[in-house]
Amino acid sequence: MQLPGNILCVTLGGHSGRVAEQLLGRGWNLSPVTDLAAAGRLQAHRKFSLGLLVVGAEPDVAEESMEACIAASPGAEWVALCEAQALESPAFRELVLGSFFDHLLQPCDLRELEMTLGHAAKRAGLRHRNEAARRCAVDALGMVGQGPAISRLREQIRKVAATDAPVLIGGESGSGKELAARAIHQCSPRASGPFVAVNCGAISPSLIQSELFGHERGAFTGASSERRGFIEAASDGTIFLDEIGDLPIELQTNLLRFLQEKTISRVGGVRNLHVDVRVVAASHVDLAEAVAVGQFREDLFYRLNVLSIEVEPLRRRMEDVPILAEYFFQRCIAKTRTRVKGFSRQALAAMLAHEWPGNVRELFNRVQRAVVMTDRRLIGPTDMGLEAVENVAGMGLDIARTTAERDVISLTLTRVGRNITHAARELGVSRMTLYRLMEKHGIALESESRLQPASAWSPAAPVIRPTPVARVGDSMDAMMKSPAAGYRSDWSGAGKPAGRA
């Protein structure tokens, strides 16, 4: 068995220190410590993928401190080795059940322990690969959003990127089809090759053949030299055929031949050139309908539609609107000197009540316009050309609930100095539930979280500037019931370190 490296071994109390020695003696790459402070110092500098907690009969360390130690190595798998007596404690049992890959009882067979560590290491490796794949997809192009629709889209992008088959991307105008196409390319083995985007609807029908397939010298009047077309230019990479539904029917035949034979011939040429290009196409019109009315070749449709992806319209993923707005706001102010600090609560409500027929592009344009046009520190609905909403209930119950939940967690954590136990007690949930909720909302345990760069998966780990509405003892429900309470009054605070404007 190849022994995994980077194991943090924390031995707490009792005579159990020998386990670390034995594992070291058998060649395990172990960093042994005997108290949590030492573990914390190591964790601050090193990333551990595996942890072994060795606990005597009566460890004089609180479970919450052990929990904090586990949380300080995110992505690591932990194995507990404990005396049976330690499991008498309900808190310790809860900890083992919630945070450990497995547990073994003392005295334990060393081989069994090694096997368990091996399995845990495999799982940690899998988790790591998963994370890396996710990051890869994010890094591709900064696809912002954290709702279920965008998570699904990322997952689909990751899957289709691994193959070489054509992909057809559907979705309304401005929803992010080109962004998805670029992400597919950048996550694919062709990432180091070119990505060539062609808007089939924007090139005049008389030129599109030579633009796509190239032409030989003298092929037509004005063709004074030979020229490679977009398909050749995309050799070893990806060609993105946007608005494929606008491709004239006679060119659809040529494209079909290219998809079937992987060869093209330039206009005026006689040679068949082999080109290795992956095709990703997009259309905002329903191509199946275009086929039904005879505007699109059925055989080409089936060739292109081997893998299909649908980008949801923004109105079906409204939970991403505030995050996208904040992301675009940060991008807009990055290069300008401005006193605009963010969005007013009314602007947020108006955004959440708007239907977004122009999707993400419309949101970007409205934010851009608002940053330029507003005279105030906080952007209002009219700055964005949106109608003010009288009642914040207009934001929809689901979104209001999610927003309030995230805000009250962030506020509580800030107030109690990010002590999980105290925060969980105040919120009336278990620590495990609180960890789960923090993960769901992307809230980091450490206080410094900032809006991630364009490449980020989850763009903002929200750290909300404290507002006077949160009082000690406010339960989540109470926060929900007051429309004035719990809602962010200034969205520019999201993702910035607390206290910063």
Ligand X SMILES: Nc1ncnc2c1ncn2[C@@H]1O[C@H](COP(=O)(O)OP(=O)(O)OP(=O)(O)O)[C@@H](O)[C@H]1O
Beta bridge pairs of residue 11: 54
SS3 content of the chain, % helix, strand, coil (to 5): 50, 15, 40
With helix as H, strand as E and coil as C, how does 187-225 read? Answer: HCCCCCCCEEEEECCCCCHHHHHHHHHCECCCCCCCCCC
Residue 312 binds ligand X, judged by CB under 6 A: no
How many binding residues for ligand X (CB under 6 A)? Answer: 18
Segment contacting ligand X by CB under 6 A, of 127-135, 143-151, 183-191, 395-403: 143-151
Per CB under 5 A, the list member of 63, 83, 178, 405 interacting with Mg ion is 178
Residue 345 near residue 204 (C-beta atoms within 8 A)? no
Residue 454 near residue 142 (C-beta atoms within 8 A)? yes
User: What does the per-residue mask of binding to Mg ion show for 235-264, with x meaning CB under 5 A?
Assistant: -------x----------------------
Beta bridge pairs of residue 7: 30, 50
Residues 203-262 that bind ligand X (CB under 6 A): 242
Residue 460 binds ligand X, judged by CB under 6 A: no
Whole-number minimum distance, CB 195 to ligand X, in Å? 13
| Nearest CB to Mg ion, comparing residues 67 and 242 | 242
Whole-number minimum distance, CB 266 to ligand X, in Å? 28
Residue 146 near residue 323 (C-beta atoms within 8 A)? yes
Extract the tokens encoding 160: 């289709």
Whole-number minimum distance, CB 142 to ligand X, in Å? 6
Task: Residue 41: count other Cβ atoms within 10 Å of its Cβ.
Answer: 11
Residue 63 binds Mg ion, judged by CB under 5 A: no
Residue 411 binds ligand X, judged by CB under 6 A: no
Per CB under 6 A, the list member of 101, 258, 329, 364 interacting with ligand X is 364
Residue 71 corresponds to which amino acid?
Answer: A
Task: Residue 402: count other Cβ atoms within 10 Å of its Cβ.
Answer: 16
Segment contacting Mg ion by CB under 5 A, of 156-164, 176-184, 363-371, 479-487: 176-184
| Nearest CB to ligand X, comparing residues 360 and 434 | 360
Residue 145 binds ligand X, judged by CB under 6 A: yes
Residue 407 binds Mg ion, judged by CB under 5 A: no
- Residue 143 partner contact from ligand X, Mg ion, none using kind-dependent CB cut-offs of 5 to 8 Å: ligand X
Residue 462 binds ligand X, judged by CB under 6 A: no
C-alpha 137/C-alpha 132 separation (Å) is: 9
C-alpha 90/C-alpha 99 separation (Å) is: 14
C-alpha 322/C-alpha 145 separation (Å) is: 9
- Residue with tokens 């977004």, as numbered in its chain: 356
Segment contacting Mg ion by CB under 5 A, of 60-68, 100-108, 234-242, 371-379: 234-242
- Interface with ligand X (CB under 6 A): 142-145, 171, 173-179, 242, 284, 324, 360-361, 364
